[in-house]
Structures are given as structure tokens and as C-alpha cells.
Amino acid sequence: MEFQTIKKERSYIETNDIARSPTLQTILMVEKFIDENSGEYKKTDLFKNLPKKVMWQTFQVIMEYLESVYKIVYDKKNCIGGLICVDIAPEFWRMDGAVATINNQKATKDKDKEELIFDEKDLSHNLEAAEGCPVAVIKIIDLETGEQLYPKE
Ligand code: SF4
């Protein structure tokens, strides 16, 4: 019986040893920096401008971990109702009185603004909801690149 070698592309996480493993504190520092600078920096600029220096390999491991992660930033105070987001993506949106609210317990919420981090599999649905909003109060941000996917700036 012949055995075939299965070649698999290995990720940074798999190919880098424990010495390059980031601490939780470092991951949080990078994530916070991305949050605060959404849309301003591409990946290499993010690396160069981090408040604390980390090794490039460590940074790659963190970015891979954060990869395919997106964020909804919902400007609730400017919602005009109308239910379009709820009709398009009821698993993510529901009404809260006259305005919409993110339909997920992990969302952070205050009276004017709500945010939710989600992954790749829910991207198209959330983009559709954002694009359907007549007053463009639903922003979708790619946390890997910092790019605002909708509305385009
Ligand atoms: S589509 Fe926009 S304006 Fe309409 S309920 Fe949803 S968030 Fe509010």
C-alpha cells in the first residue's frame, strides 16, 4: 500500500515555536491599537506604529489570530427605524422600541452606540444589512487591515 504525502500550508502559528507566542497582554495591546486606528493604517504601518515593539513573527501570529475578524460599529442615536436591517439579517438585528439594536449578547451597548465583533462566515450577511440601511449608521470594519468596508470612506 502506498502512502501519499499530504502537503498542507502551515500557518505562522504552527510554524513558530513557543518563544514567538504572544502574551495575552500583547494581543490585547495590538487589538486595542487596531480598534483605535481603524482605517488609518495598513498591516505594516500598524506594526511600525505599535505603542510597544514586538517581533515581526509575533505580530504575524497575532494578526493571524485576529484575521477574518470584523466589527460592526452601529451609530444607534442616528437610526431612523424602518426595520430594513432586521428584515435582512434578523439573526443580527432586532428592534428595541423605535430603533434597531444588535441582536447578540456579546455586543457592547450604550444608549448611543453599539459594537459587535464577528467572523468571516457572517460577513456577507452583515454587509447586506449595512448596505440596506438608508442612513448608513451601520459601519463594518475589517480588524485585520483596519479598512472600513462599509460605508466606504
Ligand atoms: S436599517 Fe438603519 S435606520 Fe433602519 S432600523 Fe436598521 S439601523 Fe436603523
Q: Which residue reads 487596531 in cell numbers?
A: 34
- Of 24, 121, 142, 138, give the one whose Cα is nearest residue 78: 138
In a domain, 7, yes or no: no
Per the structure block, which three cell numbers stand in for 25?
Answer: 497582554
Q: Using a 6 Å cutoff on CB, does residue 83 contact ligand 1?
A: yes
Residue 39 CA, ligand 1 centroid: distance in Å = 23
In a domain, 143, yes or no: yes
Buried b (16+ CB within 10 A) or exposed e, 21-55: ebeeebbebbbebbeeebeebeeeebbeebeeebe
In a domain, 110, yes or no: yes
Q: Using a 6 Å cutoff on CB, does residue 69 contact ligand 1?
A: no
Higher pLDDT, 12 or 130: 130
* 62 and 47 part of one domain: yes
Residue 81 CA, ligand 1 centroid: distance in Å = 5
Its pTM stands at 0.62
* 84 and 26 part of one domain: no
* 61 and 73 part of one domain: no
Q: In the chain, which residue ranges form alpha helices assigned H by DSSP? A: 12-15, 24-36, 43-49, 56-66, 84-88, 123-132
Amino acid letter for position 37 = N
Q: How confident is the model at residue 38 (pLDDT cuts 50, 70, 90)?
A: low
In a domain, 22, yes or no: yes
Number of independent structural domains in the chain: 2
CATH code: domain of residue 89: 3.30.70.20
Residue 98 CA, ligand 1 centroid: distance in Å = 10
Q: Using a 6 Å cutoff on CB, does residue 85 contact ligand 1?
A: yes
For the stretch 63-121, pLDDT in tens is 777 766 899 999 999 999 999 999 999 999 999 999 999 999 989 999 999 999 888 88
